[in-house]
Amino acid sequence: MYDCVIIGAGPAGMSAAVYLNNANKKIIVLEKDTPGGKILKAKKINNYLGLDNIEPSDIAYNMYSQLMNNKIKINIEKVLNISKDDSKIIITTDKNSYITKYVILACGKIEKSLNLDKEDELIGNGISYCAECDGNLYKDKVVSVIGNNNESIKDAIYLSSISKEVIYINYSNEEVKFDHDNIKVINNLKVSELICENNILKGVKLSNEVVIEVDGLFILTGSTPNSKIIENLNINLDNGYIVVDNNMKTNIDNIYAVGDIIKKQLYQIVTAASEGAIAAVNIAKLIN
């Protein structure tokens, strides 16, 4: 039996693994894809203290190497289901099953896309899903925000303090107004096409065929946490995001959650790594 199985090898899961391994616990990390998680999607990361001017892929590789150097086991397997009784938790993957005392859910979230042609290729070259992550790439430039909720309105205001101009394309049914001279609102129109040159975004075509030139497009219409695998566990969710306490524990004993999959204020590497550490230290103390 494992002391703890960690699901997801993004910064949250890998941070938890380092702390639990340091506490001499028997652990394994299960990752369905590539260790590094969302870091690998970023064009540049310049807000993680101590890692200035390093390629995102190098940051991900350094994290992964730290696990390898410490002989922490990572299996590339997709977790399909988790079940629990009073004495153990059973994790079923596409290849194996694992029995463990504790589990840390660190599976992240998926940003909602507009499913436009070239949207994926342009991530980091004009397309972004996160104002705090990429806002400073567009200092004194013109950006557009596609939004449909209060969070996107707050993000548009945040971006207006960095960029020259923000064009808010309102995807909600309610009228939106800003008190900021450099925020312009477009109501009742959708983006129908991304205009790019040499794989760099140059503008967007609206549903009335008008093209507006922008340097960046922030698609802020929400995201979906990867919480499908816990459907049967009666874990408290808020809009799909896992609700945790200060120790990163869910409402279900022995099940913890960290990183982008939880309900929180700031979805960043720094918070993900911190939450992984908090969950791990708490679990290590309970096992002792």
Ligand X SMILES: Cc1cc2nc3c(=O)[nH]c(=O)nc-3n(C[C@H](O)[C@H](O)[C@H](O)COP(=O)(O)OP(=O)(O)OC[C@H]3O[C@@H](n4cnc5c(N)ncnc54)[C@H](O)[C@@H]3O)c2cc1C
Rg of the chain on CA atoms, in Å = 21
Smallest separation (angstroms) from ligand X to the CB of 189: 25
From the list 173-181, 183-191, 210-218, 262-270, the region that binds ligand X by CB under 6 A is 262-270
Candidate residues 5, 6, 13, 241; the one interacting with ligand X per rule CB under 6 A: 13
Helix axes 56-69, 11-22, angle to 10 degrees: 20
From the list 20-28, 31-39, 65-73, 160-168, the region that binds ligand X by CB under 6 A is 31-39
Burial of 115 (0-12, 13-18, 19+ CB in 10 A): exposed
Cβ density class 12-23: b for 16+ within 10 Å, e for less: bbbbbbbbbbeb
From the list 19-27, 63-71, 214-222, 261-269, the region that binds ligand X by CB under 6 A is 261-269
Q: Which two tokens stand for residue 121?
A: 């290729």
The backbone torsions φ and ψ at residue 200, rounded to the nearest 5 degrees and listed phi first, read: -125, 135
* Residue 30 contacts ligand X per CB under 6 A: yes
* Residue 107 contacts ligand X per CB under 6 A: yes
Residues of this chain, 131-160, that bind ligand X according to CB under 6 A: 133
Strands (DSSP E) contained in the chain are 2-7, 27-31, 74-76, 79-84, 89-93, 97-105, 109-111, 127-128, 142-147, 165-170, 183-187, 191-197, 200-206, 211-213, 216-220, 223-225, 237-238, 241-242, 255-257
Smallest separation (angstroms) from ligand X to the CB of 10: 2
Candidate residues 106, 167, 255, 283; the one interacting with ligand X per rule CB under 6 A: 106
Residues of this chain, 40-99, that bind ligand X according to CB under 6 A: 41-42, 45, 47-48, 78-79
Q: Is 254 left (phi over 0), alpha (psi -120 to 50) or beta?
A: left
From the list 103-111, 191-199, 230-238, 248-256, the region that binds ligand X by CB under 6 A is 103-111
Rounded Cα–Cα distance for residues 17 and 73 (Å): 9
Cα 226 versus chain centre, distance: 10
Pick between residue 186 and residue 272 the one whose CB is nearest to ligand X. Answer: 272
Pick between residue 176 and residue 280 the one whose CB is nearest to ligand X. Answer: 280
Site string for ligand X, 217-236 (x = CB under 6 A): ---------x--x-------
* Residue 129 contacts ligand X per CB under 6 A: yes
Rounded Cα–Cα distance for residues 225 and 242 (Å): 8
Smallest separation (angstroms) from ligand X to the CB of 128: 6
Candidate residues 20, 59, 63, 130; the one interacting with ligand X per rule CB under 6 A: 130
Can you give the binding site for ligand X, defined by CB under 6 A?
A: 7-13, 30-33, 37-39, 41-42, 45, 47-48, 78-79, 106-108, 111, 123, 129-130, 133, 226, 229, 259-260, 267-270, 272
